[in-house]
């Protein structure tokens, strides 16, 4: 009825034929309904975690981890712990809200305030918070690796502020903890935030050791079940991907099976190399640029085109 | 005169020699004038569509298409149609302002309020609005394709919110309609917004069928005259480009000729493959990773390094 | 003591076990302290230039260089010089603040107001300002090159507003001047801003001639000591990198030695080509897509896979 | 413990003696605890409705009531109903959140999601929404009265946009409905928003008829139990107040008894007049400027100094 | 139709009865239509100048008039004229947009781009701009008067930054020029902005000489046709108002006749005094606090209660 | 020269005669220079404390004093002390910047970094911080007084959130401490912020005891040297002012002498009363509405019109 009126009102102005918003709104509603029925979800779909809010939350954790470099620009010694405590408290509270959405969505429940959800949310948050010092320590090793591995790096501070690889790893190390504690969707959104910022696409399921250095980074892809040892160095456009996807008897993809490479300690992989499937790149091996690898590589090997 | 005063005033403070802004401003003015003369446009250059405003406009259309997932986080059933109607109306009104700039710019006219411009703008807008439900339907097929094509995807909702390929396709499908209706500059700006967000560079002229899935996506380039069938799947760093550029007799490039590949239904192209020129990749063919293709590929073929 | 109270207060609410922020804050403080000691910097670390503020500053210079296209959307003829003068003055003043941070950081001094620092900052700023018209002129040649080199480009205005290669070059040409005048960290941050926006990673140390055109651009990497002549054209995912890193007798990397390619006038390098080491690509040579080059290429040569 | 560290850290910088934030924070905590105990509320105090959020909500309702004058500046005919529907829906949803806080606060309950609260909130909101057209109609009569009563008013549109009396009445008429439906704290906050904007202080409990005109308005005070008829006109600094406050046997004030004037239809009260106590100003009476009235005034009377 | 769907959709959730937005939107539309018909304006009402935008515009002029005190906090000598020029240019351009709205509204025309409107807008703007130096000079005299007239004022700078009387006079002197050039609605909105900020209500029609000082100011009312000489001083809650309103033969008010006081040079009026009607307060007279004056007062007289 | 160009450029567009910004900018510069010379300050005037920044700073202190009511809306028990500590630290740091401006301004020095200024700023800040718990305690007594003194008040929480008298007293009690420690300009700006928000004008020099309640408040004026005892209650439009201003032999006003009333404990002053000069209103006295008092009033007296 609103729209009928709109169209009538519109008819008064001659050189400005109506756009017909009412019909378009109706058609879009039909498509939404159809889409919900198809997924067997008649009712209002539950909310998902918000990408925009998670971006702010991750900035908060980054600021708490590196208050002098990624926090307030004019923080002083006397206020620094209060700043870290406040920022942690605020970011954890906001994280809880996002986690509650994911848990509720997973349960497809209407009762968004059940004690079970509250307990699960609180538990994931507590485990996440407890591991933050470990994450800081791992990131310190990543920064050290970048400083030592790039002749252009002049100070570790430059590395924290400038290197997209560090931005990607801050996001990944936080997302990975969420992923391991069951908040896989929240984790994935955090990873995509980093992907958008840096062009580095690390699935939150990937397991990565100490002292990981990604140089330049644009186009790097690291898959869900990849395992990376300590002190590994990779360059732009490196892919650690799946070779082929296993299928179920009904033709649909098997989800979650181990399909990405294992990269052992001290491996270096140069730009554009593509390593596919559940293979192992042995300790101290070097993979040259643009090389295509689909089979195990022994320790200390040098693979080039 | 202003600047003389500035320089004099400045002379008072001894340890702070003037920067000489007046000279720099003058030199920049001379360069601007020279540049305008070179392009035979003496007068004030007309405004162009604004990238920042188009980014907001496209967010508006995305919200109208997917109000539960990309619109207001706390929208409820009773308000959803009013939200869609309001968002559409607002975004279409703002789109008209941008289109008016492009049309005026193309005509190189000063009379920004002529009836002709108004009519053209209104016509493009109406055609754009009318096709929005079709775009939603196409995007549903893209989401379905991503969900079915990626073992890591757990729900279609995750795909909408997380996958850069979907972000790119929302922009592309909207931009393509603008392009086909003559708003080529506006369309191009929309494409570059997606390029900046995702690292996926699809020219708005490219024609793409249903169920298109881009995985990871960073580094993908799809050219202006490319034609892509239904249910095609491509991975990161795939290029569908031109082989060489035809030149006019005066040595300048021929603009707009057919120079990019045709990719038929159900084709899969793995990461880093480069396909160049007006060639055809036949139905159900598979192109392996990092492969370089400059000649037709028959249906059902498998091309690897 | 604060935290003890917090924990006690918390104990009242039974279903909401405390997160233990006090312990986490303490652990993070210990890690910060350890990290500072390791770098032999006990005291409060000096501030670094801010990425967010530099992003705004660079937008200001871009607006002053191209006021009609990248400045205020509704600027008119009468106000344009005042706008340019004001924007320059404001951006230069803000740049000075960032430069002061870098100089102070480099000197590791506490006295942030010494006359020496003031003089150095003023000198870099003055030299930077003086070269802005030259930068505008170089960027005009880059825009011309893009317009002439891409059949899809319809006007030079489209190039300024849409092409990520131009965005990258605006940043690079400004950053390079800062780099040459000693503000290497500020310069690097500016480069990373462009990297994040475009996926194009040009080290501010790279020297680039007139009429440089990067098409599509995602994944391009150009190293610190690269030298590029006039009218060079490169495509997406091209790397101008280092072959190997020289090491000092203690095993640490030699920093700053010449290790990236020299690319002479009129060279064209197609997508995905990788050129490594201090080699020379001679005048008018063409490097094909995906090619791997580690040795000199003579003038006029055509190198393909 | 945090603060001890702070103080120790601080001791390093000699010319900058610590402020002792830890002690101050502790003293403030003690005062908060004391204050809570005094009011017999040991636990965390429940949230109150937010003044800042209510200010935005009331702006939303004003925009829905007068979309052309107080809504979007560039709204067009085709979109106006969608705008009103969306704005109403959004503002009502946000109002519900504020009402939930008040109801929860009044019940001093921890269970903020009980069905009772939900039902009460929904009921108040529904009654509030249903009466909005009546409020628009009353405000139209207020605007008409201002236009007819002020020789300086040139159009009714000027009255809507400029007159603080109208701003005050938009707030009052909305607040009064909330007050009557039991949301007295929310109502009071809305009144104080108007007080801050206009200097006009109308308690939301006051009952006011059609065609009420407040000229200039600064300093007007209208008490909780005042009753004002139709077509009344008052000027700046008029007080309709209480004469004295009744006390309970324990010396505390009686809350809520009838203590403010009744002003009948067509009364005019000039600037600075003070009318105190539960007296009646009869129909068509005129009260002169600066007059002090504490007894009934008969119909048609003229009271001057 | 939208709303029917809404109501049906809503019926699914049992504990959340619909609010019935569709009916309310319909009722509000009917009231809007009725109100437009009543004012004989069937079509879409033209836009009015925006209070929010005028507030920003006036801040711009204040900054241009007092760049060191009300402009950018960190402006330096070299940039000050560019700042003033840019701010003037920007504020004048935005003022033109508001003036165009008023002129179009007054003409009740649909053709918002006629040459007549453009010319009128340009003329008012030019006259307004030309008188800005005079306004600065008058405001300097007001500041001087405040500094000399208040024992609590310690510097003229404090007066500019702190005194609401100066805020009110900056607005008034700008609004008065607009009023005299025919932009009476824009002028009135500017006055109400000041009224809201300071509680001082000066109609833009009032004519005020040099060196005018309003101390404290809350509650001051100065009417449309008041004329105030040089070096007049008034205190809070002073009214210079109308005694009674002349009526036309049809009972409606005569608009615009001379009905407010003339206050000659050097008069002082203490707090709460009320001066009504077209009377004259002679040179050097003093009016005591709370006094009620409705007849001429001779020069040098002292009037007290 | 810039402006000459502007004018020439402008001449091209015929229907749009130039505004002549260059002349206006020049005239404004001349007036600024003249004004500076008149005050014997040739050089760039030093910065003053910023009203906008002080408004934010005071909001910070209010949030630290009442974190549950005026701080973050969703603060929880575990985070409250960290929030208070962080907010205090941040607000004190920002306050220091404002104080530095005032001290530098007072000294009329160019050396804004002298040790003397630093020490003075640090000392005022420390004394201010130390007295914050006392201020909280005084404000608690004010809130209690309002709750007990107003029959319309339903909870102390309502008083904190709604009553303008409390807003005014939060500002005053903070401003008064700054005033007593020598930051008189900063203090005055804080007072004017409250004046703008509430219409209550209390000079920061006024000394006010415990349990002070201002009801309604608009139009209240309390002068610099006023002294108010404990448990005093005043209503709207009450003035505690100066009777006349003493003059020096040169005709200029004596600044700072004792000229405002002393109001002893438990006095009540009703709306509109005006009390002028250094007189004493004795303990437990009551002053009726609109009364004019210029002589001592004995204890327990009741003064009415």
Confidence of residue A220 (pLDDT cuts 50, 70, 90): very high
Which of F132, F139, F153 shows the shortest CA–CA distance to D35? F139
Contacts of B22 in chain F (CB under 8 A): 1-2
Q: Is D19 on the interface with A (CB under 8 A)?
A: yes
CA of B77, closest CA in chain E: separation in Å?
6
User: Region F62-69: what's the mean pLDDT?
Assistant: 94
- Backbone phi and psi for residue A214, each to the nearest 5 degrees, phi listed first: -110, 115
Report the DSSP pairing between strands B292-293 and B274-276.
parallel
In degrees, rounded to 5, the angle at the alpha carbon of residue F28 between the alpha carbons of residues F27 and F34 is 90
Return d(Cα F83, Cα A89) in angstroms, integer.
9
Q: Is residue E16 very low, low, confident or very high in pLDDT (cuts 50, 70, 90)? A: low
Where do the domains of chain E lie, and which CATH numbers do they carry?
2-38 (no CATH), 46-200 (1.10.3130.10), 219-305 (2.160.10.10)
Min distance E29 CA to chain F CA atoms (Å): 34
**Residue bearing the bigger pLDDT, A266 or D13:** A266
Phi, psi of C201 (to 5 degrees): -115, 95
Average pLDDT over residues B65-72: 90
Q: E281 has which bridge partners?
A: E263, E297
Least confident of A138-152, A259-273, E63-77: E63-77
E122 at interface of C, judged by CB pairs closer than 8 A: no
Burial class (CB in 10 A: 0-12, 13-18, 19+), F154: middle
Which helix H or strand E contains E213, and what residues bound it?
Answer: strand E213-214
Residues near D15 by Cβ (< 8 Å), separated by ≥ 6? Answer: F115, F118, F119
**pLDDT at residue C250 tops 50:** yes
Q: In angstroms, rounded to a whole number, what is the distance separating the alpha carbons of residues E118 and C93?
A: 38
The token pair that represents C256 in the structure block? 């700053």
F81 contacts on C by Cβ (under 8 Å): 2-3, 5-6
User: From the candidates F67, F82, F118, which should be mutated to test the interface with A, based on the most A CB atoms within 10 A?
Assistant: F82
- What is the arithmetic mean of pLDDT over D237-255? 86
State how far the Cα of D192 lies from the Cα of D212, in Å rounded to an integer: 19
- Tell me if A217 sits within 8 A of A253, measured CB to CB: no
Q: How confident is the model at residue A272 (pLDDT cuts 50, 70, 90)?
A: very high
Average pLDDT, chain B: 89
Query: pLDDT by residue (tens digit) across D121-166?
Result: 999 999 999 999 999 999 999 999 999 998 888 889 899 999 999 9
pLDDT, averaged across chain A? 89
Is B63:B86 a contact under the CB 8 Å cutoff?
no
Identify which of C133, C218, C271 has the shortest CB distance to residue B199: C218
Asked whether residue C143 carries a pLDDT value surpassing 50, the answer given is yes
Angle CA F101–F102–F105, to nearest 5: 85
By Cβ distance, the residue of D18, D82, D113 closest to A21 is: D82
Give the separation between CA D70 and CA F20, rounded to whole angstroms: 35
Q: How far apart are CA E268 and CA E235, in angstroms?
A: 8
Lowest mean pLDDT of A234-238, C16-20, C70-74, C281-285, name the range: C16-20
B27 touches chain C (CB under 8 A): yes
Residue written as tokens 């939303």?
D60
Q: Is F15 on the interface with C (CB under 8 A)?
A: no
pLDDT in tens, A98-108: 999 999 888 87
| Interface residue C250 vs chain E (CB under 8 A) | no
Contacts across the A-F interface (CB distance below 8 Å): 39
DSSP D239-279: EEE-S---B-TTSPBPPS---S-EE-TT-EE-TT-EEESS-
Q: How far is residue C111's CA from residue E287's CA, in Å, rounded to a whole number?
A: 60
pLDDT bracket for residue D14 (50, 70, 90): very low
Going by C-alpha positions, the residue among A294, A284, A287, A285 that lies closest to residue A269 is A287
What tokens appear for D188 in the block? 């009071």
Where residue B39 falls among pLDDT bands split at 50, 70, 90?
confident
- d(C-alpha F10, C-alpha F19), whole Å: 10
The pLDDT confidence band at residue C14, using thresholds 50, 70 and 90, is very low
Do A10 and D80 make contact, defined as CB atoms within 8 angstroms? no
Q: What b/e sequence results for E263-275 when a residue is b if at least 16 CB atoms lie within 10 Å of its CB, and e otherwise?
A: bbbbbbbbbbbbb
Structure tokens at A221: 């892809």
* CB of C20 less than 8 A from some CB of F: no
User: E51 — contact with chain D (CB < 8 Å)?
Assistant: yes
How far is Cα B81 from Cα B62, in angstroms, rounded to an integer?
15
Handedness of CA C190, C196, C202, C203 (dihedral sign): positive
- pLDDT band per the 50, 70, 90 thresholds, residue F13: very low
| Min Cα separation E65/chain D (Å) | 25
**Residue F153 burial (CB count, 10 A):** 20
E20 reaches D (C-beta below 8 A): yes
> Angle, nearest 10°, between helix axes F132-149 and F164-180?
150
Give the span between the Cα atoms of A281 and E128, in whole angstroms: 77
Residue E186: C-alpha distances to residues D71, E100, E182 (Å):
18, 10, 9
- Chain D residues near residue B76 by CB distance under 8 angstroms: 89, 93
Rounded Cα distance between F191 and F236, Å, is 17
Using only C-alpha atoms, what is the Rg of chain A?
24
Edge-to-edge strand list for the sheet holding A262-263: A207-208, A227-228, A262-263, A280-281
ipTM of this predicted structure: 0.90
| Of A48, A74, A293, the residue nearest A188 (C-alpha) | A48
pLDDT, mean of residues B234-238? 96
Q: Is the pLDDT of residue B150 over 60?
A: yes
CA distance D246 to E266: 49
Percentages helix, strand, coil for chain A (3-state, rounded to 5) are 50, 10, 40
Of F18 and B8, the one with more pLDDT = F18
Query: Any bridge partners for residue E233, and if so which?
Result: E213, E268
Cβ-in-10-Å burial (0-12, 13-18, 19+) of E13 comes to middle
Choose among F74, F82, F88: nearest Cβ to A85: F82
**Residues E259 and E226: beta-carbon distance below 8 Å:** no
Q: Which residue has the higher pLDDT, B75 or B83?
A: B83
Instruction: Please give the torsion angle defined by the CA atoms of residues B142, B145, B147 and B151, in that order, rounded to the nearest 10 degrees.
Output: -140
CB F184 within 8 A of CB F204: yes
* Model-wide pTM > 0.95: no
The answer to whether D116 faces chain E, any CB pair under 8 Å, is no
Q: 3-class SS at C302?
A: strand
- Does D21 sit within 8 Å of A82, measured CB to CB? yes
Closest residue of chain B to F43, computed from CA coordinates: B12
Task: Write out the H or E segment, with its range, that includes residue F280.
Answer: strand F280-281
Phi, psi dihedral angles at F257 (to 5 degrees): -75, 160
Q: Which residues of E are less than 8 Å from A12 in CB distance? A: 43
Quote the tokens at residue B150: 């990626």
pLDDT band at E18 (very low <50, low <70, confident <90, very high): confident
Task: Return the sign of the alpha-carbon dihedral for residues C256, C259, C264, C269.
Answer: negative
* Low-confidence winner among C240-244, D280-284, E72-76 (lowest mean pLDDT): E72-76
Nearest to F255 by CA among E143, E152, E149, E148: E152
pLDDT tens digits, one per residue of E208-263:
999 999 999 999 999 999 999 999 999 999 999 998 778 888 888 887 789 999 99
> Helices C132-149 & C164-180, crossing angle to 10 degrees?
150
E12: nearest CA partner in chain A: A43
Say whether D151 and E218 touch across the interface (CB within 8 A).
no
Q: Measuring CA to CA, how many Å separate D105 from each of A55, D93, D109, D111?
A: 33, 19, 7, 11
How many contacts, defined by CB atoms under 8 Å, are there between B and F? 24
| E82:C78 CB<8 A | no
């Amino acid at each position: 009825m609103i729209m009928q009126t709109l169209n009538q009102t519109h008819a008064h102005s001659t050189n400005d034929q109506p756009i017909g918003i009412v019909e378009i709104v109706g058609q879009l509603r039909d498509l939404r309904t159809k889409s919900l029925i198809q997924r067997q979800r008649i009712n209002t779909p539950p909310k998902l975690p918000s990408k925009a809010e998670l971006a702010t939350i991750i900035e908060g954790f980054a600021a708490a981890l590196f208050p002098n470099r990624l926090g307030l620009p004019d923080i002083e010694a006397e206020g620094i712990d209060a700043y870290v405590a406040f920022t942690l408290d605020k970011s954890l509270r906001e994280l809880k809200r996002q986690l509650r959405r994911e848990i509720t969505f997973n349960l497809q429940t209407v009762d968004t305030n059940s004690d079970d959800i509250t307990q699960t949310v609180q538990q994931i948050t507590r485990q996440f918070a407890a591991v933050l010092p470990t994450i800081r320590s791992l990131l310190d090793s990543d920064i050290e690796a970048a400083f030592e591995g790039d002749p252009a790096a002049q100070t570790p501070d430059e590395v924290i502020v400038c290197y997209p690889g560090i931005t990607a790893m801050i996001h990944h190390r936080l997302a990975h903890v969420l992923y391991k504690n069951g908040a896989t969707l929240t984790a994935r959104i955090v990873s995509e935030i980093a992907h958008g910022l840096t062009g580095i696409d690390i699935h939150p399921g990937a397991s990565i050791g100490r002292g990981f250095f990604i140089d330049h980074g644009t186009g790097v892809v690291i898959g869900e079940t990849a395992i990376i040892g300590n002190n590994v160095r990779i360059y732009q456009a490196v892919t650690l991907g799946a070779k082929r996807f296993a299928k179920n008897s009904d033709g649909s993809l098997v989800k979650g099976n181990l399909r990405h490479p294992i990269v052992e300690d001290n491996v270096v992989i140069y730009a554009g190399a593509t390593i596919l499937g559940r293979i192992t790149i042995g300790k101290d091996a070097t993979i040259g640029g643009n090389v295509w690898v689909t089979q195990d590589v022994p320790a200390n090997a040098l693979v080039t085109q």
